[in-house]
């Protein structure tokens, strides 16, 4: 009886040990699976391969070069410290998750690189980048954001970093569809807002009448600049809806998208005017220029090239 009960006990002990081992193994498997699942769901940013192209090669050299050209040749009155500006620019995104950039990150840069713009000189644009910049280059009377130091330095470039190191990521950067808070989108939104806030007098806007909607309220112009013009300083918005002479004319001053813009602007107590295919008013003045000084390129610049 006694022997039977001790073998019984040993058997029960073995059973208990076995079940404990099974429970422990199962527990470990569940914990392991949970860890793997969590990692799969939220990959560390430094391991991500973003869908957009990587930072522009020689980013530092290009930005410093542009800064020196701007502050020594284009606008020599501006004695900015280019090295300090580069450091502030780099610090905005280096060692950070490129999907988690904030306007705060760029604040020191904005303060360092800001410079005043005269009243009546601001030219805003949407979907007319090429024409707007050709216009300011040739006509010389208005300024786009790219004609200010910050816009000049960053125009056409890509940049981002990684949270795991202090290097510029030349491999890949997030495409704007991957995440909204990427270094370029946040930069352009903040720079555009600052540019719009500093505008005064008459503000000119060049829109594209050869696409279905000349005014798109989700564009940076529609969602940022329009709402940050100060009605105490800006009294008139002059719209030019431009058309590609080789393409079709889809939208014009009388279209619903421009009417929507008109009602937003007038609702903000800023007067509004619109002109289709504004022609260069300086043509007559240039005719009076001595022969040889008229640059034929100026005449062509009005059209989409």
244 belongs to the binding site for ligand N1C (CB under 6 A): no
Nearer to ligand N1C, 85 or 206 (CB): 206
145 belongs to the binding site for ligand N1C (CB under 6 A): yes
Q: Taking each helix axis as running N to C, give the angle between helix 82-91 and helix 103-113, from 0 to 180 degrees, rounded to the nearest 10.
A: 170
- 119 classed as catalytic: yes
263-272: burial string, b at 16+ Cβ within 10 Å, e else: ebbeeeebeb
Nearer to ligand N1C, 206 or 253 (CB): 206
Nearest to 175 by CA among 49, 45, 52: 52
One of 55, 71, 169, 184 touching ligand N1C (CB under 6 A): 184
Nearer to ligand N1C, 86 or 125 (CB): 125
Number of residues this chain uses to bind ligand N1C (CB under 6 A): 17
Nearest to 65 by CA among 49, 50, 86: 86
Q: Active-site residue among 67, 200, 253, 274?
A: 200
251 belongs to the binding site for ligand N1C (CB under 6 A): no
3-state helix, strand, coil in the chain (%, to 5): 50, 15, 40
Nearer to ligand N1C, 151 or 161 (CB): 151
126 belongs to the binding site for ligand N1C (CB under 6 A): yes
Cβ–Cβ under 8 Å, residues 244 and 210 = yes
Q: Give SS3 for 237.
A: strand
DSSP 223: I
One of 98, 151, 174, 209 touching ligand N1C (CB under 6 A): 151
One of 91, 129, 181, 244 touching ligand N1C (CB under 6 A): 129
Nearer to ligand N1C, 88 or 153 (CB): 153
DSSP 78: -
- 200 classed as catalytic: yes
Show Cβ contacts of residue 167 under 8 Å, excluding neighbours closer than 6 positions: 94, 161
Positions annotated as catalytic residues are 119, 200
**Which residues form the interface with ligand N1C (CB under 6 A)?**
124-127, 129, 145-146, 151, 155, 184, 188, 192, 195, 219-221, 225
């Amino acid at each position: 009886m006694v022997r039977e009960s001790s073998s019984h006990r040993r058997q029960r002990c073995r059973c208990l040990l076995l079940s404990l081992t099974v429970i422990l193994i199962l527990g470990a498997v569940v914990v392991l699976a949970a860890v793997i699942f969590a990692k799969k769901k939220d990959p560390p940013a430094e391991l991500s391969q973003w869908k957009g192209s990587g930072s522009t090669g020689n980013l530092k050299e290009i930005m410093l070069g542009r800064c020196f050209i701007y502050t020594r040749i284009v606008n020599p009155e501006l004695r900015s410290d280019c090295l300090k500006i580069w450091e502030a620019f780099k610090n905005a995104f280096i060692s950070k998750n490129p999907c988690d950039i904030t306007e705060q990150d760029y604040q020191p840069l904005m303060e360092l690189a800001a410079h005043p713009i005269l009243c009546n000189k601001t030219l805003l644009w949407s979907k007319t980048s090429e024409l707007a910049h050709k216009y300011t280059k040739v006509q010389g009377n208005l300024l786009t954001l790219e004609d200010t130091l910050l816009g000049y330095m960053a125009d056409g470039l890509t940049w981002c970093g990684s949270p795991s190191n202090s290097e510029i990521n030349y491999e890949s950067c997030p495409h704007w569809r991957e995440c909204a808070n990427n270094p370029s989108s946040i930069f352009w939104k903040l720079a555009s807002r600052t540019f719009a806030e500093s505008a005064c007098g008459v503000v000119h806007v060049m829109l594209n009448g050869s696409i279905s909607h000349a005014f798109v309220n989700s564009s940076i112009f529609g969602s940022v600049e329009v709402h940050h013009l100060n009605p105490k300083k800006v009294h008139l918005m002059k719209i030019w809806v431009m058309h590609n002479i080789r393409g079709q004319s889809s939208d014009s001053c009388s279209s619903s998208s421009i009417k929507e813009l008109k009602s937003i602007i007038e609702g903000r107590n800023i007067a509004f005017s619109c002109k289709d295919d504004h022609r260069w008013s300086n043509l007559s003045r240039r005719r009076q220029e001595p022969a040889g000084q008229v640059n034929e390129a100026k005449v062509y610049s009005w059209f989409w090239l």
